[in-house]
Chain A
Amino acid sequence: MTTKINKKHLIGLSFIICYMSFTIALTSCNSFIEEDTAGVSTADQVGDSKEACDLWVTGVYSKWLYDIFCWGYFPRVLEIDADYITGPNWLYAAFGSGMFQGNGADIADALWKGGYGLIERANTAMSYIEKMENVEESYKNNALGEMKFQKAFAYFLLVRAYGEIPLLDEGVDMTNNPRVSVDRVYQEIFMLLESAVELMYKNTDSSYVSGHVCKGTAAGLLAKAYATAASSAMSSGNLYIRTGQPYYYDEHNEKQYAAPESMPFNIQTVSGYETMDATALYEKAASWAQRLIETTEFGNHVLVGSFEDLWSMKNRYASEFLFSVYVPNADTKYKTSIHNLYAGTFGNASMEYIIDGGWVGNTYNWYQLFDSKDDRIVKGVKHRWRTENQVKENLGFYYPENEEYTTKRNNGEPPYDDGVNYYLSKDYQCIAFTTKYMDVTDPTTANADCPWPFLRLADIYLIYAEALNETGHYSKAIDVLYEVLKRSCTSVSKPTTTSLKKVFNKNGSYSMDDQTAVRSAIVEERAKELACEADRRWDLIRYGVYLGAMNAVSTDDGGVSKVRSTRNLLFPIPAQELNTNQALNGQNNPGWR
């Protein structure tokens, strides 16, 4: 304690002070606590170039894979709540049985989350692309047009499912974003699409890159959106659907399939569409469809020649596919469950047996809608398949249990000439599985490269036919309908209003006008042509016949309940949206809490 402070101490002290000052100076110069972004990429680093523009656009398309489709909720959310679709009851247990909340909420919410996620991505991409100065105007415009199409498509999916919805534009209040009227949503969709038609390349332009959407896509969606709004606004008329309870128990208490019966369902205005003018909208639909189909204004879009070619890998990028979601082969991140869900994942490359999946198919009611020569069931439905366990016991399934195929099975005729014991199980295991999604690079991976056809020219043909019919041109409507039909069934002759009435009014017990007959035929043709393309539910909804059609089935082939009530007309808004979006005042769609 008595040590005196001497010179040595002072030198030491000065040294330390210098040292500490030096350290502070050194680190401040190097901005020691600046965030070092070497480890990450930020939006501003993406740049201003053609490549940067491509990067943003691709990022938006990518949302479809990661994360709209990759979790397996798509396409189920659009597909499995319909009358002709069936499968194992565990797959349909909640959402597929009409319970869109609770256990089914994951699936139902996927549409809301996915839709807005896509819109937000498109908004972000647009905001960066718009600022670009080093990109050619037409290139930039095409990119912006694609983004607008993606937004419009998302709004279209959302408005059909939820009715009034919030719009997501820049500057929107994040926690107080009110729903706007259905009419307003459609105005937004039409505006976006009409602008997209202007901005995008034609598929015949040299700058067009296959796989992207193009002018024709936007025109096609315009036709479909107008027709959707129009049919939803219709307040009268009938639609005949061939349907009914699919099976009964005979006197030996054995399950027997029933033949579908034609039943009339009243067309009703869908809630929210009351103020819209059906005829005017149909005229618009007809006009856009006509320009797409009959002119080269939007490039060159034609139907693929045959049913078989349509679903082969080589035609994935055919002009008929206006908008498909494409997916790489066997990628663990950018993936869909389409091949697994509809075709099944196979144990080997020769597709001898299924090891997983193959759950979703059509009912026997649906199968019976077709002419027996129609490729859409001859080639478009699996008539035999096997699971891994069946292979061990030399067993296999055949389908369907009708005279034609049972006889072939009994006689060991092709395709049952390979010595396998084929049998049939009258439950979810044996349903009309589609072959649309069979042709992939590697059928043995759960993440096969099977595209999802969101919008197809055949769909627009039928929209065109519908619009023509509703605007009084029945005969032209049949011509257009026949274009689709004859591709898959060359042996049938062109229907007439008389022949159609025979189909839908077999016993002559109803009074049916021509327009109703054609309308019913077109909607049925849609069910046949667009089966397993997640379209059926939305047709039933837009005509206001969903409840009638579903309840007419009651319980389907797979044992899935199709009993529905009014609340099923609209999907429930996700709980989190209700909790956090104050503008909704906690008010969900009718019947949902």
Chain B
Amino acid sequence: MRKWISLCLLLLVGSMGVQAQTQISGNVIDGALNEPLIGATVSVPGTSAGAITDLDGNFSFEVPEGKIIIQVSMIGYKTQVVNIKGKSQIQVTLMEDTELMDEVVVVGYGTMKKRDLSGSMSQIKGDDLMAGGTTDVAKGMEGKIAGVNVSQTDGSPGAGISITVRGSNSFTTSSEPLYIVDGIPYNNDNPGGMPSSDANENTNQKQNPLSFINPNDIEKIEVLKDASATAIYGSRGANGVVIITTRKGQSEKPRIEFNANFSLSSVIKKIDVLDTQTYINYQNEGKDNYNYYMGGSESPYQTRGGSANWQDEIYRTGWQQDYSLSVSGGNDKGWYSFSGNYLDQKGVIKESGYTRYGVSINIGRHITDWLEIGSSSHVSQTVTNFQRTSSSDYGIIRSALIFPPDINPDAAPESDTDWLAANPAAYIRGARDRLESINWFSSNYVEIKLLPFLKFRQNVGLGYNDSHRSTYYDKYTQEGKAPTNGKMGKASNIWKSYTFESLLTFDKKFGVHYINAVAGLTFEKGIWDNSSTTATNFPDYATVDSDIALALDKAHVTSDKGKQTLESFLARVNYTLMDKYIFTASIRSDGSSKFAKGNKWATFLSGAVAWRISEEKFIKDLNVFSNLKLRLSYGETGNQGIGSYRTLAVVEPSSYVYGGVINQGVAMIDWRGRANPNLKWETTGQFNAGLDFAFLNNRLQFTIDYYYKKTRDLLQNVSMPYSTGYGQYLTNYGHVTNEGLEFTASWDVLKNSPLKWNIQANLSMNKNRIGGLDGDQYATVNWGKADQMFLQRNGCPIGTIYGYVEDGFFNSVAEVLAFKEYSGLSESEALKMVGEVKYRDRNGDGYIDNNDRYIIGDTNPDFIYGITNSFTWKQWGLSFMMTGSQGNDIFNGNLLDMELQNIGNVTVDAYNGRWTAANPTAATWPKALSGDTRNMLLSNRYVENGSYLKMKYITLSYNWIKPIKFIEQIKFNFTVSNVFTITNYSWMDPEVNAFGDASRKGVDMYSYPSSRTFMLGLNVVF
């Protein structure tokens, strides 16, 4: 140590003598290749002095007096700052900046260097995706990308996921982005969707479109957000594009990786409902009130004599095991990767769960120096066992909450309660809903290098999805209660997809010009075939869903099939001038089978410019930014998200009986309305302005994007006067705008110390507005109690909740009679209204009706955000992610069943807040009342603030490098997910989306509860 200090002192003293202008010369080399770097800039910051390295990487120039710092930079390399005090000859090694600038990202129909990007896109790497121990791709993306809103239907294993990029564009068509897996569109627009039979009526459960891929197999995901990036996907780019790239082998030495995760989960929050004794008191109060207020003569409540906590009867500790094994390798001749995966999840509601078996192969070979062939295939078998949740009528959670608690769990189900709900214990035993899917997806290509700068690539994609769903409700469930006597449904859905893409790619640099261009034509075809059978009336010996032939009542059989095709021509040019000015333009023409002649074809254009300001000298001279890039783009994209055959006058069988014999007939399909041959694409024009900037040698990076997009010619079902014979009409009508800001930051707070700390954060804001409608409309909710819940009005966002506003309670007969609508009532009639909710008479006409509704909520958040902190210290790692949503409302549909009448159980909150004559002023709920006469209107009572901040996970890991020979590393990690949630939302979990889609989000109706999970993971690399 002392020696070093002496040396430093010596250098310091020695340098004092050098004051005059000096000549500096040297050599710059590429650190990786160990070769001279040509064209690197060597400069003295703050002066005009400097030089460019020659063909041998050499430079030489005069350093102005007093200057001792020089800077060596080159695009794609990390800038080096060198102290030249006392030196006249130096050698500088520049390392490639693999972290950021030269990173290759996947864009539509090709790849690009990230620095040449002009559009807005985000990337997430496999490791980041897996952080938090996710078992599916979509959940892994949650909270990690600005502008991407991932919402789960509910907490059910294998539950559906809805991904929305930059707000919902449309009322009726899907807002799901286009998924591209290894270059091939993965068709999530399978019109059959999840198979369903009549036995699944009113269930909203959906299949997660990405569940077939094991997230461990994913190398990275790119999300294309702005139109300049997505326009190359033309008619399907309007909702953003998610490009998934699966892992390839890289190292010469085979890499064998084994992962195992085990987890236990339990329900985070149960709802407090009345215990048995309080319930009996409550029922008696209801009877007393009925007799007093309604003039009834009911005798006291006859308890059923039992006692149960129904939530305890249906929940259990969930258990999950997840294994995957992969072998991969590669060299300059090609690559291979084989992997297998087994996942078994047992949900926190009994009998619910999810199982996946998957095998993936990704191989490629450079056959000759001009020919490359590659193939990736993913095969999975999944089994999802649903328990009915998020459903508007029946369901296991609904049963568990409102079923009378004075019944023993093992009591035989009684028919006098089954109108209300099924006995939850019997429901668990008697309801089965199982979805089995086989998914095969294969992406293949041949690439021919025609010229050094011209490549031809032929992609061939094949997909096959076969789903079978078996549903059975025995006679002790409401679905199957007498006289149905058990209901069984068998449904299947086959979807086959074919993709052929021929692409020519030109890639060449001419001096300061760099051109990357692609042109191609594509053909896609999808074929579906659905069938479903429903039968009822099963003998007692029928064993669940085994044999539909046991049904005594005729099976109801349906099937349909169809085909859709898409033909496209596309081209894109990316031109970079002097590494600073980037121009991109793209064009795509799509022809779709779904539209009628004359409207089949549409062309989508986009253009973008980007300016790498940090490459300008005046910025470089500031020596502040390590990256500064401005991006501007505009483009148009489409949405063809309607079913096939919608422009045709399609007839369906319509039967009738004459003389006791069923006769076949035909009729137009009522719900479709009149056929509209003039349908055309929905078009979204999007403007994007983005700024990327980074400091401290990219330790601190920011991206800000502003966008404004307008979707016009919305394809939607417009309400029609029923006097036309139809209720709706599919047409192009209205528009939606989305305007927003997205912020992304990455900060290596501690980088060069033993303790490393990285923060990744994103925040996005979106403002959605409807326009161009002639009058108000309502979203199709298909939910009797809340049919006109979602208002569609000019200037309001999609997700506006419309309803009545409450104004306390009627506390006396006089108060009732003072209200005009009731002024004519007799005293005894008016007494019935005492203790009932008073609604605000908005227009002051003395009547409460549809005109008294207000906008009472908005399910759109002001902003959503996610923050991930990662710490590493030696072999230890700790990371945690928080996500949040601010300013969104939730429609708490669960409360609709808190009627405080009939025999349904209620929450402790509702009971404590019930109106009583003794304490009318503190009331938050109407009086307890037996009978079924109360009709509560859809009011602000059911709308709650859904803002939350959630600790999604905390992971602690230990990475044991080379523990023994043959083992590269063993990594242990322990993850707790759903650690805590800070929210004012009263029900189980604010992260809920019962309808599973973007246009009707923010609805909670007996959702599957989220669970807190403790997971132990093991990762071994050989």
Contact = CB atoms under 8 A, between A and B. Distances in A.
Interface of A: 1, 3, 5, 9, 12-13, 16, 19-20, 23-24, 27, 32-46, 54-67, 89-90, 93-94, 101-103, 106, 109, 112-113, 116-117, 119-121, 123-125, 165-166, 168, 172, 174-175, 177, 209-212, 253, 255, 316-317, 326-328, 330-334, 340, 345-347, 355-356, 388-389, 444-446, 449, 574-577, 579-581, 593
Contacts of A355: 415, 482-483
A235 to B, nearest CB: 28
Interface string B398-419: 0000000000000000111000
A444 B932 CA distance: 27
A347 to B, nearest CB: 7
A40 B650 contact: yes
- Nearest 8 A-B pairs (CB), nearest first? A120-B725, A58-B665, A211-B658, A59-B667, A39-B562, A62-B654, A59-B665, A581-B721
Contacts of B719: 576, 579-580
B668 interface: yes
Contact of A43 (B452, B649, B931, B937): B649
B122 interface: no
5 contacts: A42-B650, A59-B651, A330-B553, A345-B482, A388-B415
A203 B937 CA distance: 52
Given A33-B591, A124-B668, A39 B645 contact: yes
Contact of B448 (A16, A253, A334): A16
Contact of B723 (A5, A101, A388, A581): A581
Interface string B54-84: 0000000000000000000000000000000
Interface residues of B, number: 84
A331 B645 CA distance: 28
A535 to B, nearest CB: 23
A90 B451 contact: no
Given A33-B593, A58-B656, A326-B657, 11 more contacts: A12-B450, A23-B523, A33-B566, A39-B563, A121-B725, A123-B725, A328-B662, A331-B662, A355-B415, A389-B414, A577-B723
A19 B724 contact: no
A42 B666 CA distance: 10
B702 interface: no
Contacts of A102: 849-850, 935, 937
A20 B937 CA distance: 63
A346 B591 CA distance: 57
Interface in B610-652: 644-645, 647-652
Contact of A40 (B448, B562, B567): B562
B563 A16 contact: no
A328 B719 CA distance: 32
A177 B721 contact: yes
B483 A66 contact: no
A94 B653 CA distance: 35
Residue of B414, B654, B723 contacting most chain A CB atoms (<10 Å): B723
Contact of A46 (B454, B500, B651): B651
Interface string B1002-1018: 00000000000000000
Contacts of B659: 209-211, 317
A239 to B, nearest CB: 26
B537 interface: yes
Given A41-B651, A580-B720, A345 B656 contact: no
Contacts of B952: none
A334 B933 CA distance: 31
Nearest to A327: B657
B933 A93 contact: yes
Nearest to B529: A39
Given A9-B450, A67-B670, A89 B932 contact: yes
A579 B793 CA distance: 13
B722 interface: yes
Residue of A19, A23, A121, A580 contacting most chain B CB atoms (<10 Å): A580
Given A61-B665, A356-B482, A445 B553 contact: yes
B729 to A, nearest CB: 8
A326 B656 contact: yes
Given A58-B663, A580-B775, A389 B415 contact: yes
B648 A42 contact: yes
B561 interface: yes
A27 B568 CA distance: 11
A42 B675 CA distance: 11
A1 B452 CA distance: 7
Contacts of A55: 664-666
B723 A116 contact: yes
A23 B657 CA distance: 52
Interface string B905-941: 0000000000000000000000000011101010000
Nearest to B674: A174
B334 interface: no
A576 B722 contact: yes
Interface in B400-452: 414-416, 448, 450-452
Contact of B593 (A36, A38, A255, A445): A36
A389 B556 CA distance: 31
B521 A20 contact: yes
A16 B658 contact: no
B723 A62 contact: no
Contacts of A316: 660
B189 to A, nearest CB: 16
B668 A43 contact: yes
Contact of B556 (A166, A332, A347): A332
Contacts of B553: 330, 332, 445
A117 B726 contact: yes
B829 to A, nearest CB: 8
A41 B648 CA distance: 9
B522 to A, nearest CB: 10
Contact of A20 (B502, B656, B660, B726): B502
A416 to B, nearest CB: 24
B565 interface: yes
Interface string B527-559: 000000010110000000000000001101000
B722 A112 contact: yes
A89 B553 CA distance: 32
A23 B565 CA distance: 15
B844 interface: no
A444 B482 CA distance: 9
A13 B851 contact: no
Contacts of B663: 54, 58
A131 to B, nearest CB: 14
A168 B724 contact: yes
B725 A168 contact: yes
